[in-house]
């Protein structure tokens, strides 16, 4: 029996409603393709697994029994997938018509491309910057220190976000958002799966960097459109996610950049990232406290 054209791999943690929409939109867009869907449920307590079993019996469901994180979850999904290509898809996404076929066609017609990503949009249709340049020292300084707040339109951040380009034309890019990244199986097997040292965040930057070093190209394809509700899973534990994000940034820096920096200044980016983490954590705590204070008032109206 021939392999499916595409294996859509979804890692879920307590986002039942979003997961249902993601699977439904994926299956609805599979017309003309052989598509399998593999869901890894990371110990959800909201009935996500039962929903998949009852509503989508054709979907391969793997219950991990614990929160493995995104990297381990996607690697587990890939082990159970049999498609020629792998679409790593967040559960808080909805596939727009024709996106799956466009991604598969692009990989089939560009043999040097190891991964291709769609244009991600917000629910209102506005653009998400889902493809970026690899972080460079000055961009890291402005994004990971208070300087970014003082100079939000600085050229280093704009360069990192590729903000001077309208994102409506296909092109080769440095890296793609892991919210939706379609990977050629040959590239996945050569480069290896996601680095499981990244619980979540930065595993996509790391994989794309390793793919480039292995000789693969990474492409952005705007004609494939996927809607992304940012942070539906991470918003459930905002403070923990702030810490996890910055830990991942430090791991990425130490893995790929620190060895090339002079020993006497290697600590600077780490200090800057932790300083930013402290600032964001305080802001998060403030918002959480404000939300608790406002909640009873809203209830009395």
* Predicted pLDDT at 298: 44
* Predicted pLDDT at 34: 96
**Residue 233: pLDDT above 60?**
no
CB of 270 within 8 A of CB of 52? no
Instruction: Tell which residue, 141, 259, 134, 261, has the closest CA to residue 202.
Output: 134
pLDDT band with cut points at 50, 70 and 90 for residue 75: very high
Summarize the confidence of residues 80-91 as an average pLDDT: 97
Percent of the chain with pLDDT over 70: 90
Helix-helix angle 69-80:203-213, to 10 degrees? 60
* Predicted pLDDT at 266: 79
Summarize the confidence of residues 90-96 as an average pLDDT: 97
Cα(10)–Cα(179) distance, rounded to whole angstroms?
10
Cα(52)–Cα(71) distance, rounded to whole angstroms?
21
pLDDT band with cut points at 50, 70 and 90 for residue 301: very low
Regarding predicted confidence, which is higher, 143 or 52?
52
Cα(279)–Cα(134) distance, rounded to whole angstroms?
24
pLDDT band with cut points at 50, 70 and 90 for residue 256: confident
* Predicted pLDDT at 246: 81
Model's pTM, two decimal places?
0.87
Regarding predicted confidence, which is higher, 12 or 277?
12
Regarding predicted confidence, which is higher, 138 or 218?
218
* Predicted pLDDT at 299: 43
**Residue 268: pLDDT above 80?**
no
Summarize the confidence of residues 124-130 as an average pLDDT: 94
The CATH homologous superfamily to which domain 6-129+167-229 belongs is Spore Coat Polysaccharide Biosynthesis Protein SpsA; Chain A (3.90.550.10)
**Residue 170: pLDDT above 80?**
yes
Cα(10)–Cα(23) distance, rounded to whole angstroms?
9
**Residue 269: pLDDT above 70?**
yes
Cα(4)–Cα(85) distance, rounded to whole angstroms?
8
pLDDT band with cut points at 50, 70 and 90 for residue 96: very high
* Predicted pLDDT at 14: 94
Which are the contacts of 47, defined by CB distance < 8 A and separation ≥ 6? 16
Regarding predicted confidence, which is higher, 115 or 279?
115
Summarize the confidence of residues 196-223 as an average pLDDT: 96
**Residue 300: pLDDT above 70?**
no
Average pLDDT along the chain: 88
**Residue 264: pLDDT above 50?**
yes
* Predicted pLDDT at 141: 65
**Residue 276: pLDDT above 80?**
no
């Amino acid at each position: 029996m021939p392999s499916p054209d595409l294996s859509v791999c979804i890692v879920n943690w307590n986002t039942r409603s979003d997961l249902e929409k993601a699977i439904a939109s994926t299956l609805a867009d599979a017309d003309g393709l052989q598509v399998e869907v593999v869901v890894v449920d990371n110990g959800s307590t909201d009935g996500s697994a039962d929903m998949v079993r009852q509503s989508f019996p054709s979907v391969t469901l793997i219950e991990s029994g614990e929160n493995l994180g995104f990297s381990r979850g996607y690697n587990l999904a890939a082990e159970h997938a049999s498609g020629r290509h792998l679409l790593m898809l967040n559960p808080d996404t909805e596939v727009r018509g024709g996106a799956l076929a466009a991604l598969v066609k692009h990989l089939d017609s560009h043999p040097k491309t190891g991964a291709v990503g769609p244009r991600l949009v917000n629910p209102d249709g506005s653009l998400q910057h889902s493809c970026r340049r690899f972080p460079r020292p000055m961009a890291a300084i402005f994004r990971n220190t208070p300087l970014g707040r003082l100079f939000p339109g600085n050229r280093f951040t704009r360069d990192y976000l590729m903000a001077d380009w309208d994102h409506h034309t296909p092109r080769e890019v440095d890296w793609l958002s892991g919210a939706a990244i379609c990977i050629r199986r040959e590239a996945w097997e050569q480069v290896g799966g996601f680095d499981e040292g990244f619980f979540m965040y930065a595993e996509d930057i790391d994989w794309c960097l390793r793919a480039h070093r292995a000789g693969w190209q990474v492409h952005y394809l705007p004609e494939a459109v996927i809607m992304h509700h940012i942070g539906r899973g991470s918003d459930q534990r905002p403070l923990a996610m702030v810490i996890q994000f910055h830990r991942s940034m430090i791991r990425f820096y130490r893995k790929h950049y620190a060895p090339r920096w002079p020993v006497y200044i290697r600590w600077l980016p780490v200090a800057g990232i932790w300083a930013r983490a402290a600032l964001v954590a305080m802001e998060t705590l403030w918002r959480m406290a404000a939300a608790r204070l406002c909640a009873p008032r809203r209830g009395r109206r």
